[in-house]
Amino acid sequence: MSGGARDRNEPWVCPRCEGAGFVLDSNDEAAPCDCHDVRVRRARSQGVSSVIPKRYRGVSFERFPVTEMAIGNPEVVRAVRRFCDQVEERVEDGRGLWFMGDVGTGKTTLAMLVSKAALDAGRTVAIYSVPHLLARIRDTYDADAREQSYIEFFRRLVEVDLLHLDDLGTEKQTDWVLEQLYSLINQRYEEQRSIVLTTNLDFEDLERQIGKRTVSRLLEMTDQLPVFGADRREPYPARSALG
């Protein structure tokens, strides 16, 4: 890769000790590297999805579509850049971002910028669309002794530094879904853990979908950023399989 940039989907390697776990001090004696805490956090987050989806691996403030979004939503893009520049402090403080807007306006792209910045800073990140996350939680119910249990998976979702929830509000509403979302978000709220989320719903519709208690906590945990614009996917005509 050009410029020596690291693929965000490769294992994180400390730039100071280059993975050795120690550095040489002024007397040329080995001393523990201060990346120990990063290694502990990453060990605790194993078993959650921290992979940037292929479509978003090249996303950048200097590339399309973010450069175009900076024209239509300049304040939003500036806010995201500030968050990324201060990602370690924001994560430590348990702060997050809430992207809302119509389909195709670039909410997920902006959220992925935040997740990539956190990963580059050595922070642990879990990235899920909400329907996929709920399906993953259900899978833990049938796990055998060798697989990750519900309690273990839930604990890691709570402990990860940044939880990225995409398409909140698209899940089918059931009592079980409401319980799972409230339990997860409330636990992260109490532990002051960061959340980045995207949704097509406004506040009132989201309250009806996932409950007022859950939305109230999200409002306190995040800065809300409305993203405006036309659906960026619409200009591409459907291609017929028949030619």
Structural domains of the chain ordered from first start: 54-226 (3.40.50.300)
Question: Are 87 and 114 spatial neighbours (Cβ–Cβ below 8 Å)?
Answer: yes
Helices (H) and strands (E) in the chain — how many of each?
A: 10, 7
Band of pLDDT at residue 2, cut at 50, 70 and 90: very low
Which residues are paired to 32 by β-bridges? 22
**18-22, 120-124, 194-198: lowest mean pLDDT where?**
18-22
Band of pLDDT at residue 234, cut at 50, 70 and 90: low
Written as six digits, the tokens of 122 are: 């050595």
Residues 119, 64: Cα–Cα separation, whole Å: 21
Strand 96-100: give its sheet, edge to edge: 125-129, 162-166, 194-199, 96-100, 222-226
Residues 141, 149: Cα–Cα separation, whole Å: 7
Provide φ and ψ at 147, rounded to 5°: -105, 170
State the pairing for strand pair 125-129/162-166: parallel
In the chain, the N- to C-terminal Cα span, in Å, equals: 37
Its pTM stands at 0.78
Q: Look at residue 32 and tell me whether its pLDDT is greater than 80.
A: no
Band of pLDDT at residue 150, cut at 50, 70 and 90: very high
Residue with tokens 């853990």: 193
| Sequence-ordered list of residues with C-beta below 8 angstroms from that of 231, at least 6 positions apart, any chain | 102, 103, 104, 105
Spell out where the chain has E strands.
22-24, 30-32, 96-100, 125-129, 162-166, 194-199, 222-226
Element (H, E) at 210: helix 203-210
pLDDT digits 0-9 by tens, 36-76 = 555 555 545 455 667 899 999 999 999 999 999 999 999 99
Q: Rounded mean pLDDT of 162-167?
A: 97
Residues 163, 49: Cα–Cα separation, whole Å: 10
State the Rg of the chain over Cα: 19
